[in-house]
């Protein structure tokens, strides 16, 4: 059976998050890093292309998404998905809206939905407002994100400046009335010329209703969780099955390393817990790095005992991040840290490390790119939306997990290593 579902993710952790949730269906999932340069052969029923375009210039994001769509269509995909963060990370310029409109145009789709809700991870949407746990998005730690600070919680207001066509809401009352009620609401909005529909969702049952109601849409958009019910719907209809190419879940033996460039509140707690646990740690300072380069980190890493799972991190509190950004500029501060963690990943691989735990979406993109990883096969889930993945880098087979900033519990790093050994 060829590919039925093709997803495009705006960052790497988002792509593995989606892959992990789809893989719960046991339908084979394959994840490509960037648009493959070779034509599709032996593709999986569910294919995901990970881009690194969340904060790219709009034009570039749109071009990359169009190229990804072309590849997925050639692989045979009939249904498409645009995956972004469950905290709707974007700016008034984009890139969620412009990419969605470009994909709709290419697919001749007149309507799509926006559903970032991820109930298992505390993201819910009610009356068009996005909540992180009990906090509105703009009052959550996302207000301090280094690249996409979210200062409004209302998805209609966030999306409107990003798109040309009208935006409206299908609210929780409609969703709670079931798939038929939602279908009717969508049809009515379509008649009114509404292309972009924010859909409320608070529970996994809401997501099942939305997936059921929207299964005929060529393009859906959202966080990972709205895609989770889809494979089961397609299995029942015989549109996908559990056969597919043999995806390797193998890594060579070798020590583990943790690389953290996320400054989210949860990653700050995870790094503290790990460091307080007595593991060897190296804290990166963007100002030092800009001035003196990476030699000191490399020396430290080369001196580490192989069995202690060292951590190298730039993770810092919002005031420290702002201080570095004030001195270096936001982009340069981010770029220096990303380049350093990417260089550390290569160094670690060359020193024999074979298990990589990476925290941060942009950071994961930089690390994956540096390791020249082109395809990831999806293994066991560590936390909702964070699976172990298996990949080739150079001549080596490694295990790698890419954690989006806010995901996982405080013990994530130790838990990740335990899950791999289990």
- Cα dist from 87 to 19, 158, 304, 362, whole Å: 18, 11, 37, 15
Give just the sign of the alpha carbon dihedral 58, 337, 388, 133. negative
Among 43, 140, 363, 393, binds ligand ADP (CB under 6 A): 363
Closest CA to 56 of 316, 365, 367, 375: 365
Instruction: Determine the Cα–Cα distance for residues 224 and 219; give it in Å rounded to an integer.
Output: 14
Question: Which position has the token pair 């990804």?
Answer: 68
Among 154, 325, 375, 414, binds ligand ADP (CB under 6 A): 325
Q: Does 333 bind ligand ADP (CB under 6 A)?
A: yes
Q: Which is nearer to ligand ADP, 128 or 408 (CB)?
A: 408
Among 77, 337, 391, 399, binds ligand ADP (CB under 6 A): 337
Q: Does 316 bind ligand ADP (CB under 6 A)?
A: yes
Contact yes or no for 282/309 (Cβ under 8 A): no
Q: Residue 75 CB, nearest distance to ligand ADP (Å)?
A: 28
With contacts defined by CB under 6 A, name the span among 18-26, 163-171, 248-256, 356-364 that binds ligand ADP: 356-364
Question: Which position has the token pair 């881009």?
Answer: 51
Write the burial class of residue 389 (CB in 10 Å: 0-12 exposed, 13-18 middle, 19+ buried): buried
Contact yes or no for 111/187 (Cβ under 8 A): no
Among 159, 321, 370, 383, binds ligand ADP (CB under 6 A): 321
What are the structure tokens assigned to 398, written together?
Answer: 């490694």
Instruction: Determine the Cα–Cα distance for residues 287 and 76; give it in Å rounded to an integer.
Output: 48
Instruction: Determine the Cα–Cα distance for residues 218 and 155; give it in Å rounded to an integer.
Output: 22
Q: Does 401 bind ligand ADP (CB under 6 A)?
A: no
Q: Does 361 bind ligand ADP (CB under 6 A)?
A: yes
Strands 112-115 vs 196-199: parallel, antiparallel or unpaired:
parallel
Count of residues engaged in binding ligand ADP, rule: CB under 6 A: 25
Instruction: Determine the Cα–Cα distance for residues 12 and 33; give it in Å rounded to an integer.
Output: 8
3-state secondary structure of 326: helix
Q: Residue 130 CB, nearest distance to ligand ADP (Å)?
A: 16
Q: Which is nearer to ligand ADP, 333 or 357 (CB)?
A: 333
Contact yes or no for 117/80 (Cβ under 8 A): no
Q: Residue 182 CB, nearest distance to ligand ADP (Å)?
A: 31
Q: Does 67 bind ligand ADP (CB under 6 A)?
A: no
Give just the sign of the alpha carbon dihedral 232, 407, 393, 309. negative
Q: Residue 398 CB, nearest distance to ligand ADP (Å)?
A: 20
Q: Which is nearer to ligand ADP, 316 or 345 (CB)?
A: 316
Q: Residue 361 CB, nearest distance to ligand ADP (Å)?
A: 3
Closest CA to 186 of 129, 110, 103, 130: 110
Contact yes or no for 61/83 (Cβ under 8 A): no
- Cα dist from 76 to 9, 30, 240, whole Å: 18, 14, 12
With contacts defined by CB under 6 A, name the span among 71-79, 94-102, 268-276, 319-327 that binds ligand ADP: 319-327
Among 128, 244, 405, 408, binds ligand ADP (CB under 6 A): 405
With contacts defined by CB under 6 A, name the span among 36-44, 117-125, 321-329, 394-402 that binds ligand ADP: 321-329
Instruction: Determine the Cα–Cα distance for residues 264 and 259; give it in Å rounded to an integer.
Output: 14
Q: Residue 163 CB, nearest distance to ligand ADP (Å)?
A: 23
Q: Residue 286 CB, nearest distance to ligand ADP (Å)?
A: 5
Q: Which is nearer to ligand ADP, 61 or 316 (CB)?
A: 316
Query: Residues 260-279: x/- map of binding to ligand ADP (CB under 6 A)?
Result: -xxxx--x------------
Q: Which is nearer to ligand ADP, 158 or 337 (CB)?
A: 337
Alpha carbon 157 to its chain's center:
23
Give just the sign of the alpha carbon dihedral 224, 17, 135, 165. negative
Q: Which is nearer to ligand ADP, 202 or 339 (CB)?
A: 339
With contacts defined by CB under 6 A, name the span among 112-120, 182-190, 355-363, 393-401 that binds ligand ADP: 355-363
Residue 108 burial (CB count, 10 A)? 8
Q: Which is nearer to ligand ADP, 365 or 379 (CB)?
A: 365
Residues 112-171 that bind ligand ADP (CB under 6 A): 145-147
Using CB positions, name the residue nearest to ligand ADP.
Answer: 405
Q: Which residues sit at the interface with ligand ADP, rule CB under 6 A?
A: 145-147, 261-264, 267, 286, 314, 316, 320-321, 324-325, 333-334, 337-338, 360-363, 404-405
């Amino acid at each position: 059976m060829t590919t039925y579902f093709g997803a495009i993710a705006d960052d790497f952790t988002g792509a593995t998050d989606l892959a992990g949730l789809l893989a719960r269906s046991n339908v084979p999932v394959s994840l490509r890093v960037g648009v493959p340069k070779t034509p599709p052969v032996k593709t999986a029923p569910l294919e995901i292309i990970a881009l690194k375009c969340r904060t790219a210039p709009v034009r570039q994001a749109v071009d990359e998404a169009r190229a990804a769509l072309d590849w997925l269509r050639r692989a045979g995909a009939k249904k498409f998905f645009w995956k972004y963060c469950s905290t709707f990370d974007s700016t008034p310029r984009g890139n969620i809206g412009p990419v969605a409109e470009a994909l709709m145009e290419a697919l001749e789709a007149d309507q799509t939905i926006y559903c970032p809700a991820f109930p298992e991870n505390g993201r819910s949407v009610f009356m068009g407002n996005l909540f992180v746990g009990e906090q509105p998005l703009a009052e959550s730690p996302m207000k301090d994100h280094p690249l996409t600070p979210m200062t409004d919680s209302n998805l209609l207001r966030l999306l409107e400046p990003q798109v040309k066509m009208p935006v409206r809401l299908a609210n929780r009352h409609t969703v709670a009335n079931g798939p038929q009620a939602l279908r009717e609401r969508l049809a009515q909005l379509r008649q009114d010329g509404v292309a972009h529909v924010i859909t409320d969702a608070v529970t996994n049952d809401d997501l099942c209703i939305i997936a059921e109601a929207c299964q005929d849409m060529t393009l859906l958009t959202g966080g990972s969780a709205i895609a989770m019910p889809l494979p089961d719907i397609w299995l029942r209809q015989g549109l996908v099955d559990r056969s597919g190419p043999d995806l390797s879940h193998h890594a060579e033996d070798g020590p583990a390393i943790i690389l953290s460039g996320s400054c989210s509140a949860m990653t700050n707690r995870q790094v503290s817990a790990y460091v307080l646990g007595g593991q060897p740690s190296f804290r990166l300072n963007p100002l030092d790095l800009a001035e003196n380069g990476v030699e000191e980190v490399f020396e430290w890493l080369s001196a580490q005992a192989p069995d202690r799972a060292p951590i190298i991190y730039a993770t810092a509190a919002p005031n420290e991040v702002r201080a570095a950004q004030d001195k270096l500029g936001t982009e340069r501060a981010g770029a220096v840290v990303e380049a350093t963690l990417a260089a550390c990943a290569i160094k670690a691989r060359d020193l024999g490390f074979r298990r990589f735990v990476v925290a941060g979406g942009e950071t994961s993109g930089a690390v994956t790119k540096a390791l020249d990883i082109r395809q990831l096969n999806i293994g066991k889930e560590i936390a909702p939306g964070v699976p172990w993945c298996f990949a080739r880098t150079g001549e080596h087979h490694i295990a790698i997990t890419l954690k989006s900033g806010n995901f996982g519990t405080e013990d994530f790093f130790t838990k990740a290593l335990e899950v791999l050994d289990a």
